[in-house]
Structure 1
Amino acid sequence: MRKENLLTGDRPTGKLHIGHYIGSLKNRVQLQDQYNNFIMIADQQALTDNARNPEKIKKNLTEVALDYLSVGIDPSKVNIFVQSQIPELNELTMHYLNIVTVSRLKRNLTVKNEIKEKNFSESLPTGFLIYPVSQAADITAFKANVVPVGEDQIPMIEQTNEIVRSFNSIYKRDVLIETNALLPEKGLGRLPGIDGKAKMSKSLNNAIYLSDSPDTIQRKVMSMYTDPNHIRVEDPGNVENNTVFTYLEAFCLDKVKLKEMKEHYRRGGLGDVKVKKYLNDVLQAELETIRNKRNYYEKNLDYVFEVLKKGSLNARSVATETLFGVREAIGINYFN
């Protein structure tokens, strides 16, 4: 039975942190035997709000590739490719823009939220506004039946499928296929930053990165936000909205011990320092293999770029086939 195509990716705006790891990277490793996988490093999308600092994107592209390989993404099973190296995506975006209105783009909830988050107003870059269309080009170019996303990205999937239906209807050919969102399992949501804020990010300086040294991880863990009312060891503590316990819920494999620690903390007698030390041990064990692999690949960057080159060539051959079908449907393959 033929495998379905699956597309995932990241914007190279910084190194990947443990929120990325627990939220998507571990899942990608598990899925790489089940689908024809395309993993995109979305450098062009990152340039929509970093156009004046392309060196940042170039540097972080390498960092993201290193993180992919270090967590166990296997280039013999997965096409890891660079968005800007697939020029067919740009032409697909242009064709799709002709069937999408500005008002529809502005109604996209994901775009609305990110515009507000980034404090764009009249300075909104056009490239940022249209990135749902660019994302639709990415998804359809690789005939992706499945796209793993969080709940906040559902509007992007909906808009992609609107574009697919519109295009097929206008040109009366079933050239493009609709895609399905693969949502994460219920339970663990997005990891908060170590300061307890809802978002973990480089700009807020509240993230633990996959590439962090053991000393850096320990320092960050010991500074983590807990229960502000748990002042003395004997005080009863709250494990809900307690960042240390949120991280333990995500990473601790010994669920029996974790349950006992939660009960002890709730009734009092368990100090924050002891809980943080245990979390540090858990994270160090989880990240040691990743860190060692990353160190190896950092010394073999020629291999890393060969992986990206090969993956991009494979991805481009698929995108070229899709674009040919789109051009045929529109009627602009004049000389073929």
Structure 2
Amino acid sequence: MTKPVILTGDRTTGPLHIGHFAGSLRNRLRFQDSHEQFLLLADTQALTDNAHDPDKVRRSVIEVALDYLAIGIDPAKTTICLQSGLPALAELSMLYLNFVTVSRLERNPTIKDEIRARGFGRDIPAGFLCYPAAQAGDITAFKATVVPVGEDQTALIEQTNEIVRRINATAGKTILPEAQAVIPQFGRLPGVDGKAKMSKSSGNAIALSASPEAISAAVKAMFTDPTHLRIEDPGQVEGNVVFACLDAFDEDPATLEEMKAQYQRGGLGDGRIKRRLDDILQALIGPIRTRRAELAEDHAYVLDVIRSGTEKARSRTEVTKREVVEGLGLFVL
């Protein structure tokens, strides 16, 4: 039987962190056995708000690829490919921009929120505003029917499907499939400081390559409950970053629930829950860090994985582009 096609990936803006692992990476390990999975190193997308520092985007291609391989992504099962090495994606995006209006792009709630968060005002990079069409190009080029996204990004998948329906209607036949958004069990982790989501750019994340000392320091600094001043004081679990991380990574839910109940009624200190989380993260990140360091010594292998995956993806996406061009009745050489 043909496996369903799944497309996912990450912007190449720096090494990945435990928030990525909780929200997407460990699911990708499972998907690579049940789906035909393509993992996109989204360097072109990273430029939409990093055009001032393209060198960071270039360097991060290897960093993200190392993280993929270090957690156990198998290039024999999952195709790791470079977005800028797939011209069909950009060509499809340009075609799709003729099937969507500026006002529709501006109304996309995901884009509106990101514009507000970045403080663009009206100085919005055109590439950023047009991201929904670019994502539609990415998804449809692989004919992906499954796209894992955060709950705040489902509007992007719906806009992709709007474009798909317009393309198919114009062609008078079904060329492209619609995609289904899959929401991970765990959403985005809060940052260490508790002020925002865990993010590379905000400096409030724990990298998958973090040293033992860096992990311990980050856990000790984690936001808990500012009103929980003494061990005997009742504490709040909601909004507590330590418990949010324990929810994501603790493999003993029964004990965790007991700890939550004790914390809420009083009698459990922040030090104890932080020590538990520190032990869990050390055990999780240690093997990843070791494997990553080994892979970093074999630069040629990592480049070969990216090149061979991109060549495979290029063949796949060029076929789709030709089908769309022919379906729309455009001139084909």
TM range (shorter): over 0.9
C-alpha RMSD of the superposition: 1.2
Alignment correspondent of 1:162: 162
Q: Distance in 1 between matches of 2:300 and 2:57?
A: 19
Is this contact kept in 1: 2:96–2:133, CA < 8 A?
A: yes
SS in 1 for 2:261: helix
Is this contact kept in 1: 2:151–2:187, CA < 8 A?
A: no
TM-score by length of 1: 0.96
Alignment correspondent of 1:199: 197
Superposed counterparts of 1:221-232, under 5 Å: 221-232=219-230
Offset from partner CA, 1:249-278 (integer Å, 9 cap, x none): 111112232222223222322221122111
Is this contact kept in 1: 2:4–2:146, CA < 8 A?
A: yes
| 2:3 is the counterpart of 1:6 | no
Alignment correspondent of 2:92: 92
Is this contact kept in 1: 2:89–2:138, CA < 8 A?
A: yes
Change (3 A) 1:334 1:271: closer
Identity %: 54
Alignment correspondent of 1:20: 20
Alignment correspondent of 2:149: 149
TM-score by length of 2: 0.97
CA drift at 1:58: 0.6
Superposed counterparts of 1:1-336, under 5 Å: 1-185=1-185, 188-335=186-333
Moved more, 119-128 or 18-27: 119-128
Q: What letter matches 1:172 in structure 2?
A: G
Offset from partner CA, 1:115-163 (integer Å, 9 cap, x none): 1111112211111111100100100000101111111111111111111
Give the number of aligned pairs. 333
Change (3 A) 1:23 1:105: same
Moved more, 253-262 or 11-20: 253-262
CA drift at 1:287: 1.3
Which ranges in structure 1 are unaligned for 5 or more consecutive residues? none
CA drift at 1:169: 0.9
Q: What letter matches 2:84 in structure 1?
A: S
Q: Distance in 1 between matches of 2:320 and 2:187?
A: 35
Runs of 4+ in 1 over 3 A off after TM superposition: none
Q: Distance in 2 between matches of 1:132 and 1:22?
A: 25
SS in 2 for 1:48: helix
Q: What letter matches 1:98 in structure 2?
A: N
Is this contact kept in 1: 2:167–2:328, CA < 8 A?
A: no
